[in-house]
Amino acid sequence: MTETIVSLRHVAKSYLRGKQRIDVLQDLNLDIAKGEFVALMGPSGSGKTTLLNLIGGLDTPTSGEITVAGQRLDQLGSGALARWRSTHVGFVFQFYNLMPMLSAERNVELPLLLTRLSAVQRKAHALAALTLVGIEDRAKHKPNELSGGQAQRVAIARALVADPTLLVCDEPTGDLDRKSADEVLHLLQVLNREHGKSIVIVTHDPKAAEFAGRQLHVDKGSLLEAGSLAA
């Protein structure tokens, strides 16, 4: 029986914008198995990034239950949620969000500052992660000295370095040309297939979604499987 890594039950999320209540997600149910590569697609404003934020523990639901890696996230406070994120989830963003003043190696090392590892161990782990994404030769370079594809690889290395259970990627290829995008997606595929990483990506790009093992469509706060959409 496949182990479930992400489980959402009757999850709803709404925001207050001024006096107006905006329901972004309604009664949403989702299971993602360990080792799955899932792509979340949908039009702008459909709620896919909100869903990704909930899965990654960046936000909490208005109602419903979210269990990720065996932990009920909807029951955690902000401090506990931060600690949980540091060990269980790695994030990749569209614009890489690297620290501009730090070298690639130092950027990758950041999540390890929260661990008990020594400086030598942190450096070794960071170099290993950079090697894994094939960019160890740019370890001493700062983000503005890297191409978009290289910067995104550094961001992926940073997401991986603490060996998280889950990788969540928000439009990871949205700022890249086709060739770089394919390289990054291929890298994610390798991480999923060869290293067993569970990955959830949000993307507008159908070609990017094809790299995933399963495609889900978010529309008006509800989820539809790609198969059911086709049917």
Query: Would you say 135 or 161 has its CB closer to another protein?
Result: 161
Stretch that binds another protein, among 34-42, 92-100, 130-138, 188-196 (CB under 8 A): 92-100
158 makes contact with another protein (CB under 8 A):
yes
Q: Name which of 171 and 183 has its Cβ closer to another protein.
A: 171
Among 61, 111, 143, 149, binds another protein (CB under 8 A): 111
Residues 178-217 that bind another protein (CB under 8 A): none
Pairwise CA distance, residues 60 & 43, whole Å: 22
Please give the radius of gyration of the chain, using alpha carbons only, rounded to the nearest integer. Answer: 18
Q: In this structure, what token pair is assigned to residue 31?
A: 């299971």
- As given in the structure block, the two tokens for residue 104 are 């690639």
Residues 33, 76, 102, 224: which binds another protein (CB under 8 A)? 102
CB of 89 to another protein, least distance (A): 9
Q: Let me know the angle formed at the C-alpha of 166 by 123 and 61, rounded to the nearest 5 degrees.
A: 125
113 touches another protein (CB under 8 A):
yes
How far is C-alpha 173 from the chain's CA centre? Answer: 12
Q: Shortest Cβ distance from residue 24 to another protein (Å)?
A: 11
Contacts of another protein in 21-80 (CB under 8 A): 49, 53, 56, 58-59, 78-79
Cα 219 from Cα 217, distance rounded (Å): 6
User: Considering the rule CB under 8 A, would residue 14 count as an interface residue with another protein?
Assistant: no
The rounded Cα 90 to chain-centroid distance in angstroms is 6
Q: Which residues contact 174 (CB under 8 A, 6 or more apart)?
A: 94, 203, 204, 205
With tokens 């972004």, the residue in question is 24
- Residue from 62, 87, 189, 222 touching another protein (CB under 8 A): that is 87
- Contact between 14 and 23 under an 8 Å Cβ cutoff? The reply is yes
> What residues make contact with another protein under the rule CB under 8 A?
49, 53, 56, 58-59, 78-79, 82-87, 91, 93-95, 97, 99-102, 106, 110-111, 113-114, 119, 122, 158, 170-171, 174
